Amino acid sequence: MSDSGDQPTHISRWQRSADFFSLSLLYLEGYFVPHAAAPLRPRRYAPGHWGCVTGLNAIWANLVAFGEATGQAIEPLVGTGHGGAAWVSWLVLQGQYPTPTTSAAELDSLIAGFGKPGGVPTELFAGMPGVRWPAGELGHALAVAQGLRLAAPDRPTVAILGDGEVEIGNTLSALYAGATLAHRPLIIINHNQLRMGSNSRLAYMPDGGRAMFESMGYRVSVVNEGDWEAFQRALAIHVVPGGMIVYRNRKGGTIPDLAGQAFTTPDAVHKLPVKSLESENATAWLRAWLDELAPPGVFAARGIDRTRLKLHRQGQPLLAPSRSAGGKRIAVSALGSTVLPADRSCSSAEAFSLEAYRLSQGRLAVFSPDEATSNRLPAALGVTELLSEQTTLGWAFGSILAGKPAMHASYEGFATTMLSMCVQFARFLESESLDDAGVAPLAVLLTSLSWRNVDSHQDVGFVDDIGRRRLDRWVSLIPPEPALAAQAAHFVYGRHRDPLPRIGLVLAEKVPFLRRHTLVRRDLAHGLALYSDASTPTPGGRVLLLVIGEACFSEAVAVCDYFRQMAPSVRCDILCPWIFAGEEHSRAVLSGIANVADDYDVVVCSAMSPVARWADMTNILGHLRHARPPVVFAPQTGINEVVRLRQLGLDWLAQAQAIAGSFGLTLIHFNLSAASAGLDLRLQVSSGSPTWYYTRSAVQLASELQDLRVTPR
């Protein structure tokens, strides 16, 4: 910018240019040259939202001016999903979209397709160039911006929020925590006093919320509409340390009257003041409004005249990464060497965390909603905590966008509160406009899989919901024991020839795995692990326990021990599918299971119920029933045939023989808790053990204790 004294003039020109083009996107069928005799081509029905656009465009123009004056690039994250027209206008004016030339023909095509199938949507979304977060649901932009700044302190970041958005719990949580962070983004609130249909809460605060935000620990500047010099001073104060600017303005700006009708009500200014432009009066009204907004000479017959626009530092402050080449496959057969504690037992969650930390060379950013101690995460991880799943997950998202690997640990029972964020972010990572080469991997670690002390902790539908959507960038890892949990870290953070999904969903128990089983693990293709009992080299009967999840694996190990004692001639092995990575991989898993199952007399399936549905256990059963061995399905909520056999008077040896040789049994479940009448479990519970509130199955509880003796009655 040649003369700082011209700065307010330039800002006004850029804002008016953005307002003109945003209005063209919303109302027109093609490019319009203002103050010209060419006919106006209005839409029959106008889509999108206008109310937030004028405030967003003013903020953008001031950020551009600050960037030109200081040479700084500030990365914006816009939380206002309705700001799609504003964002597209910024890209066009900066020469980033659709091409740097932005000819009249290109602009005509862009405007004609806006809000239509095959064109640019009216909402801010991940497919737009430069969008660095998933948009959509309100409330997450601030946390993602905070995560970006934490991972990249030297990278100025701004979160642009609406005043209605400030009322959302996720935003309030991030605001409350943000003032205590070591590195913070700049926060700009587009305070236009209105939500969609009524006044915002900030509208009732005469100071624009200054006192409230200052009580949270922020340094706040309140800037009024049109005071560009004050806006630039505020940016100079707040960009680097990360303060707050409250920009007070009228929602929708100054909308001209139409035939004496003023547009001032919330519903009139939120979307578009006039939806249908079929009358001559409405068309003339729109033409006059466009002519009033357009700066002289910027929008010419050939396209945008950049000499008149005078935006010299094109490309700032927005980023517009290009799409990377490469597929989305996963190398499920690549296992790496792992390191587990040699002096003690550890949990699967700890094994995964330690290996993830090692693979990331100590750069792993770990976030948790105040559950690091409960989840027994290693102290070396340096966990950042806040009692809000949505905020801490947003920090993790921001971290990986900045190129720093991250892990988010939470309880399985609370995970559904993160579902919408996870789905949106996965789709964001799949967007064609994103250059994923610089995006680091993320693991969502879910623990407390068997914690069932109260009903509020029993919502276990997250895995099922994620799997049902078949998201390409998710891989679900359900290791049955710590050794495979450490291997799971390689599928998230390891380096392979094929590109990896960016989010790993890991289900791992937090309780130390103390059972000392003698089964030998053999890793098969496609994420199948076969645990074999070598003590019966020439078995008289062969039973395969097909299980998913650590709780079921612990029970299956106990069943193998039982067979070894009660029916030595019966060989009992365990097959664990533990990697689930999309439909193509699932088909390979089914084929692999069928190949293994052919060597057995009976196959018994058991899994945690949400995992059973996600892994298409029904399809597995249907596939196996065409194979040679009979298959029995053992849902945890089903009728327990072991108990029925016991009630018929069969002792444990007879029951084992019935299980191993039965072809007519249609349902069986090795949940030894329900069959506890036939077991004598003598448990040595250590002093102070918090087992009083656990209502796990007997075998799962026993697997956490050092001394376990199972004897027949």
Q: Contact 451/694 with Cβ under 8 angstroms?
A: yes
What 8-state DSSP symbol labels residue 258? B
Instruction: Quote the tokens at residue 191.
Output: 């305070």
d(C-alpha 96, C-alpha 110), whole Å: 13
**71/586: higher pLDDT:** 71
pLDDT(273) > 90: no
Report DSSP state, residue 439.
P
Average pLDDT of the residues in 128-137: 70
Q: What percent of the chain has pLDDT over 90?
A: 28
- Residue 137: what pLDDT? 64
Number of alpha helices (DSSP H) and beta strands (DSSP E) in the chain: 23, 22
- Place 143 in a pLDDT band, splitting at 50, 70 and 90: very high
pLDDT at 207 exceeding the cut of 70: yes
- Write out pLDDT tens, residues 512-531: 775 556 788 899 988 899 99
Q: What digits encode the pLDDT tens for the residues 594-637?
A: 888 877 776 766 654 434 443 444 455 555 544 444 444 443 32
Tell whether the model's pLDDT for residue 232 goes beyond 50.
yes
Whether the ω angle into residue 482 lies within 30 degrees of 0, i.e. cis, is: no
Nearest 10 degrees: Cα torsion 162, 164, 170, 175: 60
pLDDT of res. 144:
92
**Does the pLDDT of residue 679 top 70, yes or no?**
no
Sequential DSSP letters for 297-337: TTEETTEE-HHHHT--STT-S---PPPPP------TT----
More confident residue, 644 or 409: 409
> Between 47 and 631, where is the model more confident?
47
Lowest pLDDT segment from 89-93, 220-224, 498-502, 623-627: 623-627
Query: What SS3 class is residue 649?
Result: coil
- Least trusted range by pLDDT, from 80-94, 460-474, 668-682: 668-682
- More confident: 681 or 543: 543
Determine the Cα–Cα distance for residues 491 and 579; give it in Å rounded to an integer.
9
Residue 622, both tokens: 């249907």
In the predicted structure, residue 641 carries a pLDDT above the cut 50: no
- Comparing CA positions, the residue from 307, 293, 317 lying closest to residue 235 is 317
Joined together, the tokens standing for residue 648 give 């018929």
CB 323 within 8 A of CB 435: yes
Q: What percentage of the chain reaches a pLDDT higher than 70?
A: 71
DSSP, res 638 = S
Alpha-helix runs per DSSP H in 222-336: 228-238, 266-270, 280-293, 306-309
Task: Give 526-536 pLDDT, tens digit per residue.
Answer: 889 999 876 66
* 501 pLDDT more than 60: no
**Is 466 strand, coil or helix?**
helix
Residues 304-320 have pLDDT tens digits of: 998 899 886 544 444 43
| Type and span of the H or E element at 75 | strand 75-78
**What does pLDDT average to over the chain?**
76
| Alpha carbon of residue 223 to chain centroid | 34
pTM over 0.85: no
Query: What is the DSSP secondary structure assignment for residue 199, as one 8-state letter?
Result: B
Mean pLDDT of 270-281: 84
Prior bond of 317 cis (ω within 30°): yes
Q: What is the pLDDT of residue 685?
A: 30
Residue 375 is classified by DSSP as T
